Amino acid sequence: MATINAAMVKELREKTGAGMMDCKKALGECDGDMDKAVDFLRKKGLATAKKRAGRAMKEGVVESYIHTGGKIGVMVEVNCETDFVAKTDDFKEFAKNIAMHIAAVSPLGILPEDVPQELIDKEKEIYRAQAVETGKPENIVDKIAEGKLSKFFKENCLMDQQYVKDPGKSVKDYLNEIIAKIGENITVKRFARFQLGE
């Protein structure tokens, strides 16, 4: 059994943003293995997020971010359950970080269902044509197109994108960590991104 010391707990807290007791427990469960403890906490955060998914979210903030020089601007609405949480630094920081992420990466929507169907159809047609062009048999052309479409959603839908400040996790992972830390359901409701000249 590995000895869990304060420095290890502190390091795990900095990596995950989880509470001290959760970090101590995770390190204990994972025999002091830092990477396993991070995964343990991420899974726990996901479980907490799923438990809270049904709760009403009528509070929150509309956060804005203007990129240096005023060429790109973003407004995002992030909701939570209570006004108390909406006023916390952790919640405000999350909203600000999401606005910055949107400015940097320009997602097409929050989830795949937010992407216009005509754009999905167009992308799928391109992927099918590419597969046919390379001589792939007809019976696997659709599978190739579906695989590429899945990658397209991962790159263009906010929740599936790699989080710009920590590419080791998705925006959804970051959201779930914040839900676990704050103890309330949170959702990114909508956003608008403006780029000069577009």
Q: For the chain, which residues score pLDDT lower than 70? A: 1-2, 16-19, 45-57
pLDDT for 172 equals: 93
Secondary element (H or E) of residue 26: helix 20-29
Q: What is the pLDDT of residue 108?
A: 93
Q: Please tell me whether the overall predicted TM-score, pTM, comes out greater than 0.75 for this model.
A: no
Q: What is the pLDDT of residue 60?
A: 92
Pairing outcome for strands 166-170 and 162-163: antiparallel
pLDDT on residue 103: 95
The full set of domains in the chain, from first to last, is 6-52 (1.10.8.10), 59-110+157-195 (3.30.479.20), 116-155 (1.10.286.20)
Of the candidates 22, 47, 48, 52, the residue with the CA atom closest to the CA atom of residue 37: 22
Per-residue pLDDT at 45: 64
- Beta carbons of 78 and 159 less than 8 angstroms apart: no
Return the DSSP state at 33.
Answer: -
